Amino acid sequence: MLGTRVLSGLCLIAVLLGVLYLDEWFAPWFPLWLLLSVLAMGAAAVELAGLLAAAGCRPSVNSVLGGVMAIVAANWMPHLADFLNARAQPSLLATEPPEPLAVLSWPLLTFVGVLMVSFVVQSVQFVKPGRTMATIASTLLVVAYIGLLGTFVVQMRWLEGPYHGLVPLIMLIATAKGADTGAYTVGRMAGKHKLWPSLSPNKTIEGAVGGMLFAVLAALLVTAMARDLLHLPALSGPEAVGFGLLVGLAAQLGDLMESMIKRDSERKDASSAVPGFGGVLDVLDSLLFAGPVGYAYWVAIGP
């Protein structure tokens, strides 16, 4: 199990780094990042819809996929609009890129549209009382959980700086997955005291501490490589420690919240799509909670 998890993890890292490297040639369109986002978030949304269906909620899979894909597309719109506007008016080429908080209005407004459309769709399909509200609520939960939380991970790619948001994005992923790796490794090796047995009987306090340590080390490593080896703007040492602590905590909380969903659905994994991990949602769960925290931290404190 551990060997399979390590091998799958290395393959996922290789794919991610390859996508981010090749996509620099297509900035600011980032078509490979778009493709990866569509595949990952779409698969995670279908898995979450399946979990909620097992718990009796019956979300609309078509509405879930349509809503999540609409939000993914909305993440690209402000950047493409800014690029096309600059191309049409060359005098604006030197203007500042879109503000990192302003771009969030696009996926937020898209979610509002998804909410309204979900009500209209279910009204057309309405047959008898007792199911419609549960379908709407569970559909919007999936779209918000995957689409809105995932928005912050997607938007890290456009944060201002050399190579666009490559450093903050890699730092976010390394820190969140460092927390996952540390919690899993230390928990297996030295875990004795249960952390939250009602949600996840296998997670331990020792593993959580190990996850926090690994998260901080990952943040410091990415910062050191960016600043000292690549000579790119990065967080200072104390700022990186703060990033590691906050993002590491959020990542582990995200893992626990997905465990609650699986527990409520009486499932061990979201699916078996990723050997050693379970489903795509089991890979993304920590990032979905870590994304908003990391994005806000970088916008507020980043170089």
DSSP output for the chain: -HHHHHHHHHHHHHHHHHHHHHHGGGTTT-HHHHHHHHHHHHHHHHHHHHHHHHTT----HHHHHHHHHHHHHHHHHHHHHHHHHHHHSGGGTTSPPPPTTGGGHHHHHHHHHHHHHHHHHHHHH--STTSHHHHHHHHHHHIIIIIIHHHHHHHGGGSSSTTTTHHHHHHHHHHHHHHHHHHHHHHHHH--SEEETTTEEEEEHHHHHHHHHHHHHHHHHHHHIIIIIS------HHHHHHHHHHHHHHHHHHHHHHHHHHHHHT-SSS-SSBTTTBSHHHHHHHHHHHHHHHHHHHHHH--
146 closest CA partner among 77, 50, 211: 50
Please compute Rg for the chain using Cα positions: 20
Whether 43 shows a pLDDT value over 60: the answer reads yes
Q: Which pTM does this prediction carry? A: 0.91
Structure confidence at residue 88 (pLDDT): 64
Residue 149 has pLDDT above 50, yes or no: yes
Q: What pLDDT was estimated at residue 198?
A: 85
Rounded CA separation 28/207 (Å): 39
The pLDDT, as a whole number, for residue 97 is 57
Residues spanned by the domain of 180: 2-301
Contacts with 41 (C-beta within 8 Å, 6 or more apart), sequence order: 68, 72, 146, 147, 150, 284
pLDDT class for 2, splitting at 50, 70, 90?
Answer: low
What mean pLDDT is predicted for residues 225-234?
85
Instruction: Using pLDDT thresholds of 50, 70 and 90, give the confidence band for residue 249.
Output: very high
**183-188 mean pLDDT:** 89
In the chain, the percentage of residues whose pLDDT exceeds 70 is 93
Q: How many domains does the chain contain in total?
A: 1
| Number of CB atoms found within 10 A of residue 154's CB | 26
94 pLDDT exceeds 50? no
Question: Can you tell me the mean pLDDT for 49-58?
Answer: 91
Q: State the Cα–Cα distance between residues 203 and 267, nearest whole angstrom.
A: 16
Whole-number percent of the chain with pLDDT over 90:
59
pLDDT at residue 277 in the model: 85
Residue 83 has pLDDT above 80, yes or no: no
pLDDT (0 to 100) of residue 110: 97
Look at 200 and 213; give whichever has higher pLDDT.
Answer: 213
As a whole number, mean pLDDT of residues 90-119 equals 82
pLDDT above 70 for 162: no
Reported as a single tens digit per residue, the pLDDT across 4-28 is 776 787 788 889 989 988 988 888 7
pLDDT averaged over every residue in the chain: 89
pLDDT band at 79 (very low <50, low <70, confident <90, very high): confident
